[in-house]
Chain A
């Protein structure tokens, strides 16, 4: 499985992601600049964390119009996996690839800590490897991670089982404790927590591995 990790000006979790994919999971991963216009040959796309374009205007608002985004939308439309972590999640909502928006944390503070999460949907291509595990803990690090959507959208998310991760102790005020959601087709995932920061024991946790292992397994099955 060949991953593209998009590098926007101001991305800062791109190398962590490549480390997780290449060195820990032994997958193929390339850094692809936001100025590129093609994602041909890639099986999955990851929008990493950071502060794309300085997060000027709103988080993700400028990145949404980066040259690479037309290709990201095209990949999403073909059904291949697209994952946005933290700032990448903000970019995906701004781009309309995921519903809702990320607003400022309830406390007006940047929150940086490990956050316990419930796996709200274990039957996705991003969570299947967790098996019977229902709760994991991942690092969060954001100032604008407070997920917002209106009542009608929330009802849709629930009806379609699009809520993938929920905070156990909702640190930021997110609607319905939402930490991660996917699109209706189930191939685009956005989440505020950082799985790439929890892939080796030396980092303090390996709880993030399951997301990438799930994606790799899903691809193997699809290609079998």
Chain B
């Protein structure tokens, strides 16, 4: 069993108005030293190993569904865990 933590964020060329809104709100709270906020998505997937490489399956999941590769990028961390 694997635990996969996936982070999906916008490419640098893509506007992130939600991140900008949070950035502005942090400034209103007085955190004027905040330079930038990027708002993305975080997934935790628990996956049973089969005969295919885990990385291949995770790449496919990201490319097909979890990220829109036109405007988003992703990275992930894979750790082994005990079965549920």
Interface residues of A (CB under 8 A from B): 57-58, 61, 65, 93-94, 100-101, 103-108, 146, 148-150, 173
Contacts and interface: CB of A to CB of B under 8 A. Distances in A.
A57 B65 contact: yes
A146 B16 CA distance: 11
A68 to B, nearest CB: 17
A106 B68 contact: no
Contacts of A107: 17
Interface of B: 10, 13-18, 20-21, 41, 65-66, 68, 70-71
Contacts of A105: 17
B43 to A, nearest CB: 10
A212 to B, nearest CB: 29
A173 B70 contact: no
Contacts of A108: 17-18, 20-21
Nearest to A109: B17
* Residue of B14, B41, B71 ringed by the most chain A CB atoms within 10 A: B71
A61 B65 contact: yes
Nearest to A107: B17
B68 A104 contact: no
Given A57-B65, A101-B71, A148-B71, A106 B17 contact: yes
A104 B65 contact: no
Contacts of B13: 150
A58 B21 contact: no
10 contacts: A57-B41, A61-B68, A94-B68, A103-B14, A103-B71, A104-B16, A104-B18, A107-B17, A108-B17, A150-B70
A57 B70 contact: no
A100 B70 CA distance: 6
B17 A101 contact: no
Nearest to B10: A103
A103 B41 CA distance: 14
A47 to B, nearest CB: 17
